[in-house]
Amino acid sequence: MKTKITLFILGLGLIFTLGCTKYPPDSERVTEDLAVITRYDTKANFNDYKTYVIPTSIVKITDRDTSIVTSSSATTVLNQIAKNMEARGFAQAVAPQVPDLSVNVIYYENTYVYAYYYDWYGYYPYYGYYYPYYPVYYDSYTAGLGNIELFALKDVNNSTQEIPLRWNAYIRGLLTGSHSTSDITGAVDQAFTQTPQLKTSGK
């Protein structure tokens, strides 16, 4: 019997999971990663927005700290988001122009630690019977969740300073290092494909 304990899931709450198998290695869960879920504000009229701004790095949040990711994979993600935004009719704002939309990308990295043991019986010679022995093993793995957010700067509430969230996409396994560049760009493309409403006339 093996027991797997999830110690930390940042942003989605603390969940404890019991199971009878170890988490499969990266080579066996490529298709499980890069799952894409999107949602959008059904009341928003995206034709009201023409320009956007996108950061040059991705914010990474773990159970230990917050940092900035500027790796080649992060650049690939940001470039592919911009490519899709342009294809949907949005144009990048040029300073001092104030953009209508702001792209924000956060990457949550979660660390999981699990303990497991195997039932094993050893022979005890002095008494002539077998006794149970349960060696305990510990292991861990890291998984990640990318969150692409699209805020409407144009519609900021001046009294509360709240900025409406018009669209966001969750991509599991986005920056785990287990996927090729084409896998990553394909996952970003899929996020936009799942939301055909996200487009503007550009006029």
CATH of the domain at 150: 3.30.160.670
**What are residue 103's DSSP bridge partners?**
150
Positive or negative: CA dihedral 19, 24, 30, 31: negative
Q: Is 44 inside any structural domain?
A: yes
pLDDT in the model for residue 6 = 34
Q: Is 1 inside any structural domain?
A: no
Q: Is 83 inside any structural domain?
A: yes
Q: Is 3 inside any structural domain?
A: no
pLDDT in the model for residue 5 = 33
Q: Is 46 inside any structural domain?
A: yes
The type of residue at 18 is L
> pLDDT per residue over 160-194, tens digit each?
889 999 999 999 888 877 778 899 999 999 999 99
pLDDT in the model for residue 177 = 74
> pLDDT per residue over 62-83, tens digit each?
888 899 998 899 999 999 999 9
Q: Is 123 inside any structural domain?
A: no
pLDDT in the model for residue 63 = 80
Domains identified in the chain, total number: 1
Half-sphere exposure of 166 (CA within 13 A, CB side): 24
Q: Is 116 inside any structural domain?
A: no
Integer angstrom CA distances of residue 26 from 176, 178, 179? 9, 7, 10
Q: Is 115 inside any structural domain?
A: no
Q: Which of 89, 92, 108, 88 is nearest to 100 (CA)?
A: 92
**Whole domain around residue 153: which residue ranges?**
30-108+145-193
Regarding pTM above 0.85, the answer is no
| Residue stretches of the chain with pLDDT short of 70 | 1-33, 111-143, 202-203
